[in-house]
Amino acid sequence: MAAPIAQFEEWQIALHGRRVVYRIAGSGPPVVLIHGMLNSSSHWQSVARNLARDHTVLAPDLIGHGDSAAPRGDYSLGAHAASIRDLMTAIGIDRASIVGHSLGGGVAMQFFYQFPQRVERLALISSGGLGREVSPMLRTAALPGFSALLSATIRPRLLALMTRTGHGLRERGVSGGVSLQAIARALRPLENAEARQAFLQTLRSVIDVRGQRVSATDRLYLLETIPTMIVWGERDNTIPIAHGRLAHEAIPHSYFRTLANAAHFPHLEDPDGLSQLLREFVQDTQPGLIEDADWGAVLARRSPRSRRLGSAAA
């Protein structure tokens, strides 16, 4: 008899006086799924239900995304990482395998840097923060005045038309239909003014007109004792697959996998393929563990010794 499909239930909690929405499913070793910009926890549904057969799967709506509160405040990677730490603590999850997509990959890496003792494994899916290059559309969104443009152009009828047109193109085998549907899906949350401002604050914290302005490449060596897997869609035109290959070379003992049928959203475009990769990764690796007391030793292995700056004249 086939196992019943896990319910990916939506919950709400107040953290620091603000609404945080999350979804959770299954039981077993915890896996945390972190979505990207213009996504929410609901976009992980297929992957979460698959993994929930053997794991407790937690997927939060990042602050300013989905149904979580969108306050005026800090939308940096560090702030998102701290919010996930607080949510895990509040619901009783101490350590987990951390999975992040796109912006969520940057949040996942920042979570590791801030709270290494809480990370058992790290999986980066078409991740941001691994190079400067990014799609022209995202660079354009960082321009001044883009908020007014969004307000003027995003309308329910327009998004519905884009969705129908994209569906029609896909039915006729036109590849651009997938991209058009993805754009409509991404823009739909921005009908709300608070969500638009949260999106722009989040985007501008990591991207400017020249590309990605936040990079984790100088600290990837710190992952040498943490099982790490990098996954990329082979048709990704948002963030170059070369970023993933270079990160794989920089992270000792890491895994690099690609999905031929996916572009920038593998969890939506090929959820079965991504789920299989994640399940194999967790099953085939032992959890990493870095205690607080060990962090100095991890840094020292690659960092030069400190020296006192003398004041005497040469």
- Tell me how far apart the alpha carbons of residues 69 and 198 are, in angstroms, rounded to a whole number: 10
CA–centroid distance for 281 within its chain: 17
Active site residues: 102, 236, 264
Residue with tokens 């840094």: 299
Q: Rounded to the nearest 10 degrees, how much is the dihedral formed by the CA atoms of 19, 23, 27, 32? A: -80
